[in-house]
Amino acid sequence: MSSGAIPAKAHGLVADVLMPVALDIAYSYAVPPGVALAPGVFVEAPLGPRLAVGVVWEVRPGPGSPGNLKSIRSRLDIPPLNESLRQLIDWVARWSMSPRGMVLRMAVRAPFHATPEPVRVGVRLAGPTPRRMTPAREKVLAAAEGRGIFIKSALAKAAGCSASVIDGLIDEGVLETLTLPPEPVALPCDPHFAAPSLSPDQSEAALQLESSVRSGSFSVTLLEGVTGSGKTEVYFEAIAAALDMDRQILVLMPEIALTTQFIDRFQARFGARAAEWHSGVSAPRRARIWSAVAAGEAQIVIGARSALFLPFNALGLIIVDEEHDSAYKQEDGVIYHARDMAVVRGRIEGAAVILASATPSIESRVNAGQGRYLHVKLNGRFEGRAMPVIEAVDMRLKAPARGKWISPRLAAALSETLLRREQSLLFLNRRGYAPLTLCRSCGHRFQCPNCTTWLVEHRFRKALACHHCGHIERRPDLCPNCEAADSLMACGPGIERLAEEVGELLPDARVMVLSSDLPGGAERLRQEFEAVAAGECDIIIGTQMVAKGHNFPLLSLVGVIDADIGLTSGDPRAAERTFQLLQQVTGRAGRFETAGRALVQSFQPEHPVMRAILSGDSERFYAEETEQRRRAGLPPFGRLAALIISGDDSASTENFARAIARTAFELPLSPTWTLAPAGGLPGENEISLLGPAEAPIAVIRGRHRFRLLVRAPRSTDLQGFLRALLAAGPKERGGIRVTIDIDPQSF
Ligand code: ADP
Ligand code: ZN
């Protein structure tokens, strides 16, 4: 990788090098004579006993002789990080209060992967006919006929058979294999490849987005429109404009399963595949994409939140699809919200940012309302297709029998839909079979040994699992406490249990259970979604992952099993989240020719969230919810941070948390903030503390957690206060850690 020394006249220069490790400071090194360095350049330099790769952050004149500074070892042949990406890294570190090296690490993990991408195996017809014909073999031959070279797995898929059928034909010499280079990361996209004709409404929206892109300057537009209104078609026009201008484009998606679906749609529109970037993409391929992005060869990247830190040099457009989705928040390592940081990157790059959603976050709505963002709306579905009819099922009046979760009305609707050969979706936001298992004879409940959570039964896997730490144990036959036999009882519903109930109600229905923990990962999910779209199942049962942006062409009925689940938490965003989730999941119904219908089972249909969902009056919901946030001084009207203090021992961790809180009152006076008197809202330049108190999940992975909430008006320098507090407060010791979460999403 080393490109050797590059001659330069500079002598006595010092380079400050940031290393991709948990350090905030850049280390200073002497620049050896003859090595030309500039900010952004990758170098190798000694760090402790080893050589480490880092990025030059600054080059400045130093003492005439290197003195006791260690020297840069070599300059690496990796495209340098440009100034805007370095600015973004500094900005995110300051904002999230993470060490800069940790943020750098997110940006430079990929390029160090030197192993090349594996070659692919292609197959094609070789000539001889098979000795023995089977229906599966016939399908393979039909699929391969006259169509040149196939990737092996693609041929199996096209023929709808297993890979072993292909292998058999290869062994007989009917198919021959050849070695193909890895799939290219960057093929040219054609902005005019298959442009649709837009409705007048869509055209107007597209024009507005295009003009933001063509202005070549920073702007944020909230693109709001119900599911099926054509938001994607419309922002494709913005992408076309950016392609036309030779600018790069980044599209962020909250979930991997969505990116793969999107790539196909993108290819149909622009004639080439976009580069895909997320944890499911192999490391060697990511390394190639990283370089292609830096070289400007990859014009468009579709990715998860980490794509935000790719080394674009000509970024003209960032799209954040499903911008309200809480999956955009990274909750460990560097804690940041990708939607917000996308706006920051757009500002630094002078790029247009589009936030798209059918159910925008209150934050984005308020920003649009106050004129900080442009607001482009699509009213109604494409071609006037009807929104689903939404009805409540009041579970207080017509509850199903004990241990059952499908009301008679929903059961009848499911059966009618099945008779019409249309699809239904049952939504329940609980993975597994049952959220709690207890012993009927002694009352023993199965709790996670590492967390204050109940173990969730997964019947297909015959296991009890913790959804917080991953602990998994076999479901015993006897109660471990009283040794009673046959006494264990599942309490509450999970999607697996729901599948069982559907099986009893409609034994002929083909049922598919979809959740994020499906074995087989993203690829398996993609196949399952394809199968759904191809009509290979009648009833889909899924968790929140089915609510997100997927197209289910044949779906006409949505049943929400327990609409109130999310409302019971003490989280101030609970109402917003539940509203978004219900709006999204009911919106899956009838996106195409079939009219849609949604039945929402609820124990409190009079709740404002349920009323908004049932009446379709989202404006009123947004207005009321916004007003409540304003009155409570919650984001986006005020700023919030959570300090999580965690340790192995409850008492010492709590003491530590209390000591931090006490420190706040002993800090020297600051011109930018003062501590608000206890209770009440913090006023201008004031900070108020809440807690410490036990965190909502008091123990995770054996670590006791206490939480201190810090609240301030928008104008207050919250990070400045936190820096002062942590500098003056007790130092982390004895395994106690302080984690800062700026703008926590749930608490
Ligand atoms: P959203 O992103 O708002 O949910 P989509 O862009 O996915 O909406 O559009 C919903 C469906 O309607 C898609 O199948 C899409 O192809 C189709 N559609 C929307 N607008 C048009 C158009 N102008 N011409 C053809 N099909 C369209
Ligand atoms: Zn656990």
CA 554 to chain centre: 26
CA distance 202 to 204: 5
159 or 689, which is more confident? Answer: 689
Measured between its terminal Cα atoms, the distance across the chain in Å is 46
Q: Which of 233, 235, 552 to mutate to test the pocket of ligand 1 (most atoms within 8 A of CB)?
A: 233
In this prediction, residue 116 carries a pLDDT of 73
- Closest ligand to residue 199's CA: 1
Q: Are 729 and 497 spatial neighbours (Cβ–Cβ below 8 Å)?
A: no
**Both tokens assigned to 350:** 């002078």
Nearest CA residue ID for atom 18, ligand 1 = 230
Q: Nearest residue CA, atom 20 of ligand 1?
A: 230
How much is the pLDDT for 185?
80
The residues that bridge with 61 in the sheet, in sequence order, are 13
Report the alpha-carbon distance of residue 377 to residue 736 in Å, rounded. 48
Confidence band, pLDDT 50/70/90 cuts, at residue 258:
confident
Which tokens in the block code for residue 32? 């050896």
Instruction: Render pLDDT for 636-656 as a digit per residue (tens, 0 to 9).
Output: 999 999 999 999 999 999 999
- Tell me the average pLDDT of the chain: 88
32 C-alpha to center of ligand 1: Å? 59
Query: Which segments of 637-702 are extended strands (E)?
Result: 638-647, 674-675, 686-700
Ligand 2 geometric centre to CA of 521 (Å): 22
Atom of ligand 1 nearest to the CA of 234: 6
- Which of 101-115, 360-374, 532-546, 649-663 shows the lowest per-residue confidence on average (mean pLDDT)? 101-115
Pocket test for ligand 1, best of 209, 224, 232, 585 (most atoms within 8 A of CB): 232
CA 232 to ligand 1 centroid distance, Å: 7
What is the mean predicted confidence (pLDDT) over 477-490? 90
Distance 591 CA to ligand 1 centre (A): 9
Mean pLDDT of 338-365: 97
Looking at domain 200-378, which of 3.50.40.10, 1.20.120.420, 3.40.50.12160, 3.40.50.300 is its CATH number? 3.40.50.300
Residue closest via CA to ligand 1's atom 21 equals 230
Residue 549 CA, closest ligand 1 atom number: 4
- Measured by CA distance, the residue closest to atom 24 of ligand 1 is 196
Listing DSSP states for 121-179 in one string gives EEEEE-SPPPSS--HHHHHHHHHHTT---EEHHHHHHHHTS-HHHHHHHHHTTSEEEEE
- Residues 554, 543: Cα–Cα separation, whole Å: 19
- Model confidence band, residue 125 (pLDDT cutoffs 50, 70, 90): confident
Give the closest ligand to the alpha carbon of residue 451: 2
The residues with which 150 forms a beta bridge, in sequence order, are: 123
Predicted complex ipTM exceeds 0.90: yes
Task: Tell how far the Cα of 695 is from the centroid of ligand 2, in angstroms.
Answer: 15
- C-alpha dihedral over 489, 492, 496, 497, to 10 degrees? 70
Sequential DSSP letters for 685-742? TEEEEEEEEEEEEEEETTEEEEEEEEEEETTS-HHHHHHHHHHHSPPP-TT-EEEEEE
- CATH topology for 638-742 is Alpha-Beta Plaits (3.30.70)
Distance CA 299, CA 245 (A): 11
Residue 7 has pLDDT above 50, yes or no: no
Q: How far is 154 from 160, CA to CA, in rounded Å?
A: 10
* Number of residues that this document lists for the chain: 747
Instruction: State the Cα–Cα distance between residues 93 and 101, nearest whole angstrom.
Output: 9
All structural domains of the chain with their residue ranges: 13-82+102-109, 120-180, 200-378, 389-434+493-631, 436-491, 638-742
CA-based Rg of the chain, rounded to a whole angstrom?
28
In this prediction, residue 129 carries a pLDDT of 79
Q: How far apart are CA 560 and CA 566, in angstroms?
A: 12
Among the atoms of ligand 1, which is closest to the Cα of residue 378?
A: 3
Question: How far is 227 from 585, CA to CA, in rounded Å?
Answer: 10
| Residue 161 marked as a ligand binder | no
Report pLDDT for 6.
Answer: 39
Q: CA 443 to CA 160: how far, in whole Å?
A: 50
> Which whole-number Å values give the CA distances from 106 to 19, 49, 153, in the listed order?
12, 24, 32
Which of 222, 382, 591, 594 gets mutated to test ligand 1 (max ligand atoms within 8 A of its CB)?
A: 382
Alpha carbon of 228 to ligand 1 centroid (Å): 6
Which atom of ligand 1 lies closest to the CA of 233?
A: 6
CA gap 140, 157 in Å, rounded: 9
Q: Nearest bound ligand to CA 358?
A: 1
| Cα separation, 46 vs 54, whole angstroms | 10
Would you say the CATH fold of 389-434+493-631 matches that of 200-378? yes
CB 389 within 8 A of CB 598: yes
Q: How confident is the model at residue 3 (pLDDT cuts 50, 70, 90)?
A: very low
Secondary structure (H, E, C), 558-618:
EEECCCCHHHHCCCCCHHHHHHHHHHHHHCCCCCCCCCCEEEEEECCCCCHHHHHHHHCCH
Statement: residue 375 has pLDDT above 90: yes
Cα(116) to centroid of ligand 2, in Å? 38
Closest by CA position to 305, among listed 106, 571, 549, 62? 106
Name the β-bridge partners of 644: 707, 739
Residue nearest to atom 6 of ligand 1 (CA): 230
- Give the number of the atom of ligand 1 that is nearest the alpha carbon of residue 197: 23
Q: 382-416: per-residue pLDDT in tens?
A: 777 777 889 999 998 877 788 899 999 999 999 99
Rounded Cα–Cα distance for residues 352 and 209 (Å): 9
User: According to the annotation, is 491 in a ligand binding site?
Assistant: no
* Strand (E) or helix (H) holding 244: helix 231-244
Closest Cα to atom 23 of ligand 1? 198
Q: What is the pLDDT of residues 216-230, one digit of tens each?
A: 999 999 999 988 889
From the CA of 371, how far away is ligand 1's center (Å)? 28
Instruction: Assess whether pLDDT exceeds 80 at residue 456.
Output: yes
CATH superfamily placement of domain 389-434+493-631: P-loop containing nucleotide triphosphate hydrolases (3.40.50.300)
- List the beta strands (DSSP E) in 87-132: 120-125
Cα 226 to averaged position of ligand 1 atoms, centre (Å): 11
Question: CA–CA separation, 335 vs 97, rounded Å?
Answer: 9
- 537 in a known ligand binding site: no
Q: Which atom of ligand 1 is nearest to the CA of 553?
A: 14
Q: What is the pTM of this model?
A: 0.88
* Phi/psi at 687 (5° precision): -125, 140
Per the annotation, does 439 bind a ligand?
yes
For the CA of 447, the nearest ligand: 2
Across residues 614-619, what is the average pLDDT?
88
Across-strand partners of 388? none
- The whole-angstrom separation of Cα 82 and Cα 227 is 38
Q: Which atom of ligand 1 is nearest to the CA of 229?
A: 3
Ligand nearest to C-alpha 700: 2
Cα separation, 709 vs 741, in Å, equals 10
Separation of CA 356 and ligand 1 centre (Å): 14
Percent of the chain with pLDDT over 70: 95
Place of tokens 């929400």: 560
Q: How far, in Å, from the CA of 124 to the mean position of ligand 2?
A: 50
- Which residues sit with their C-beta closer than 6 Å to ligand 1? 196, 198-199, 202, 225, 227-233, 382
Two tokens at 19?
């290393």
- Residue 458 has phi, psi (to 5 degrees) of -115, 100
How many Cα neighbours within 13 Å face the side chain of 611?
8
Residue 21 Cα to ligand 2 middle (Å)? 28
Closest protein CA for atom 22 of ligand 1 = 198
Q: Who contacts 74 (Cβ-Cβ below 8 Å, separation ≥6)?
A: 2, 3, 4, 5, 35, 43, 44
- The atom of ligand 1 lying closest to the CA of 358 is 3
The predicted-structure confidence for 128-145, as pLDDT tens digits, reads as follows 778 888 888 888 888 777
* Per-residue pLDDT tens over the stretch 69-115: 899 999 999 999 999 999 999 999 999 999 999 999 999 987 766 67
Structure confidence at residue 622 (pLDDT): 94
- Interhelix angle 650-666/718-728, nearest 10 degrees: 120
* Ligand at shortest distance from the CA of 702: 2
For the stretch 36-82, pLDDT in tens is: 899 999 999 999 899 999 999 999 987 666 567 899 999 999 999 99
Q: What is the pLDDT of residue 1?
A: 38
Amino acid 28 reads S
Q: Which atom of ligand 1 lies closest to the CA of 198?
A: 23
Closest ligand to residue 703's CA: 2
pLDDT mean over 4-15 = 59
pLDDT at 200: 93
Residue nearest to atom 5 of ligand 1 (CA): 230
Amino acid at 724: A
Ligand 1 midpoint to CA 545 (Å): 20
Please give the pLDDT value at position 206.
97
Q: For residue 587, give the ligand 1 atom closest to its CA.
A: 4
Give CATH for domain 13-82+102-109. 3.40.1440.60
Of 7 and 681, more confident: 681
Name every residue whose Cβ is closer than 8 Å to that of residue 561 and which is 6 or more positions away in sequence: 405, 406, 426, 427, 428, 493, 498, 601
Token pair in block for residue 124: 């094609």
Q: Of 347-356, 400-409, 507-516, give the range with the top mean pLDDT.
A: 347-356
How sure is the predictor about 539, in pLDDT bands with cuts at 50, 70 and 90? very high
Structure confidence at residue 8 as a pLDDT band (50, 70, 90): very low
Q: Is 256 exposed, middle or buried (0-12, 13-18, 19+ CB in 10 A)?
A: buried
Please compute the mean of the pLDDT values over residues 501-505 and round it to a whole number: 95
Q: Which residues contact 416 (CB under 8 A, 6 or more apart)?
A: none
Residue 451 has pLDDT above 50, yes or no: yes
Residue 188: its pLDDT value, please?
85
